[in-house]
Amino acid sequence: MAGDRHRSSYRRYAGGDPLAPPVDLSEALAHIGEDVMAGYSPERAMQEFLRRGGQDQRGLDELAREVARKRQELLQRHSLDGTMNEVRQLLDQAVLEERKQLARDAMMDDSDRAFRELQLENLPSSTAAAVSELNDYDWQSPEARADFEKIKDLLGREMLDQRFKGMKQALEGATEEDRAAVNEMLGDLNELLEKRRQGVDAEQDFADFMDKHGDFFPENPQNLDELMDALAQRAAAAQRMLNSMTPEQRQELMELSAQAFGSPELMEGLNRLDSNLQALRPGEDWSGSEQFGGEEGLGLGDGTGAFQDLAELDALSEQLSQSYGGARMDDVDLDMLARQLGEQAAVDAKTLAELEKALRESGYLKRTSDGTLRLSPKAMRQLGKALLRDVATRMSNRQGQREHRNAGAAGDRTGASREWAFGDTEPWDIPRTVLNAVQRTAGDGGELRLTVQDIEVIETEARTQAAVALLVDTSYSMILDGRWVPMKRTALALHQLISSRFRGDALELIGFGRHAEVMEIEQLTALDRMPAKGTNLHHALLLANRHFRKHPNAQPVLLIVTDGEPTSHLEPDGQLYFSYPPHPLTIANSVRELDNSGRLGAQVTFFRLGDDPGLARFIDQMAKRVDGKVVAPELDDLGAAVVGSYLGSRGPGRSTGYEDPWGGWYGGSRGFWVG
């Protein structure tokens, strides 16, 4: 037996498709980015994605609902009187056969027959009491005696099945030698556990025990702790089942248990076993109970199994909730999940765990000095690329044509080449592109075909051509009206476009609420929803004009996203002034600073959010002062409108006559290819 415990076994692979590609983080990152921009922390945003799941991926919430549904089905389908009903049926059958025999037996003394019939007629209504009373009855019918003996055999097998899964079937038709072997195993097991309780090293005793009694333990525990864990979990489930019975059911079962195998020895061994396990594993739930309300009766062994299932379902519910401190997807027991919900559920949970691990290890999340998680620059670039693709799709759908490229716009060649990326305007490096295709298809024997991955473009020297200031309203009204996230998405898309494709342009992001502030893209996208009221366009324009003056040889481009009139400005001494409705002095300061932008040559575009007529009149008047434009996009089109304005309102060949967010800019000088 000792050698058998270490033999290898093979079974069907249960971990999903072993040849499946690595998890795709793009969908997860897009959802996490949306939640971060909405004000969630990256940690919470990641947990929310794991809870919701993806388009083709079940999340934790759906798995938890399946767990809850199965738990409810168990309770609603079953009752705990299965063994009691089976005993009653066997008892009724035995009594019936005995009465038949008494009626047929012509040789029996009439007084003896009458006494026996009276005894059978007046049996107690309690099944346990009736079995106890008939224990010494001299059965005249062999069939009745066999049925009554089945009761003792059934009780013994059920009692053992409560503690050792599968015993009910294994001991069906058992001989006296088989029963003696069970009692011997129980005695040796209790001695082994009692040694552990006394602190004695019992590992060699465990090996000897398994060599002798290993056939009783098909789960093949590898050490004493594994054995105790398995036994304690099932014994605790048996105790919870007993606790869940009615007092009458519990009393009957206790009385019947004395009849198990026709000897009290078995119950003495089992009670001793329960006592040892409770002392060695006090952390198990020995006192819980459940309320069953179904009609399908469970035997003692099956009922104990149902309580083990309920315990596993409760554990899975907690694991899937991820609501405790330090929770990780690795906490989810995949084997347990497969047992309860099937292999596909385990595969889904494993994929979520791989997603979580990949997100933590991919560099998309970084831990700051104060211990909190933030989106890394790598994550910001990835999000920006996704948003820029969305912008390009919207622009392409609206215009239905491709932008032409002006020769020389990208700068002088450096002699180097790099892999093509979306939005590149540089010419192809034909030799490198063809070489990449040859190397990729070498040995295939087929014709040469180019793919996007083969393309390399000629690197050009960057030129400072535009100084861009994007002013985004961060006032309280932007939060109330659902414009907070679209504003951040717009800033990130423009930042990605300029930093990756037009690196010679200088972009400054300026958020303005009660006061204005120059922000890095990571700071802006992680900006909390601020309750402070105020729209300080004056301060924002001061910062924008300072940016333009730092780049005197660049074309100033001023892009202003707002949903309200100015209600705050800076006093000469630097103090903030706030007034609602807007004070004339606030309006005057804002107008004066916008005029300064116009004198610097800034090409100005206002992006008006909302339908407030007063705001529309104010912005129209402001735009006319500097020959600027006004765009009133839908929120979903804000990013495309801002990017389009940037592309079309800078450099030579600038379009004029801009009447809507989709006209006049798409044929501008700055190439933005949608292919």
Cβ neighbors of 604 (< 8 A, separation 6 or more) are 558, 560, 594, 597, 598, 623, 626, 627, 628, 629
Give me the chain's average pLDDT, please. 82
> pLDDT tier at 420 (50, 70, 90 boundaries)?
confident
pLDDT for the residue numbered 296:
86
Q: Give 634 or 415, the one with higher predicted confidence.
A: 634
DSSP 580: S
| CA-to-CA dists, residue 274 to 74, 161, 301, 581, angstroms | 26, 14, 15, 78
Rg (C-alpha) for the chain, rounded Å, is 40
> pLDDT tier at 672 (50, 70, 90 boundaries)?
very low
Weakest-pLDDT range from 38-47, 83-92, 421-430, 644-653: 644-653
pLDDT digits (tens, 9 = 90+) for 535-570: 999 999 999 999 999 999 999 999 999 998 999 999
Q: Is the pLDDT of residue 401 over 60?
A: no
Predicted TM-score (pTM) of the model is 0.62
End-to-end CA, the chain: 69
pLDDT for the residue numbered 665:
34
pLDDT digits (tens, 9 = 90+) for 388-397: 777 777 776 6
pLDDT for the residue numbered 445:
66
What are the residue boundaries of the structural domains of the chain, listed by start?
Answer: 23-76+313-366, 81-291, 412-460, 466-648
Q: What angle do CA 13, 15, 19 make, to 5 degrees?
A: 85
CATH 3.40.50.410 corresponds to the domain 466-648: yes
Q: Is the pLDDT of residue 8 over 50?
A: no
pLDDT digits (tens, 9 = 90+) for 277-302: 999 999 999 988 888 888 888 888 88
DSSP 16: S
Best mean pLDDT range from 295-304, 408-417, 610-619: 610-619
Enclosing H/E stretch for 25? helix 25-37
> pLDDT tier at 670 (50, 70, 90 boundaries)?
very low
pLDDT for the residue numbered 22:
55
Q: Give 129 or 29, the one with higher predicted confidence.
A: 129
Express as a percent the part of the chain with pLDDT over 90: 36
Q: Is the pLDDT of residue 578 over 90?
A: yes
At 222, is the secondary structure helix, strand, or coil?
A: coil
Q: Is the pLDDT of residue 608 over 70?
A: yes
pLDDT digits (tens, 9 = 90+) for 113-170: 899 899 999 999 888 899 888 988 999 999 999 999 999 888 888 888 888 888 888 8
pLDDT for the residue numbered 178:
86
pLDDT for the residue numbered 462:
52
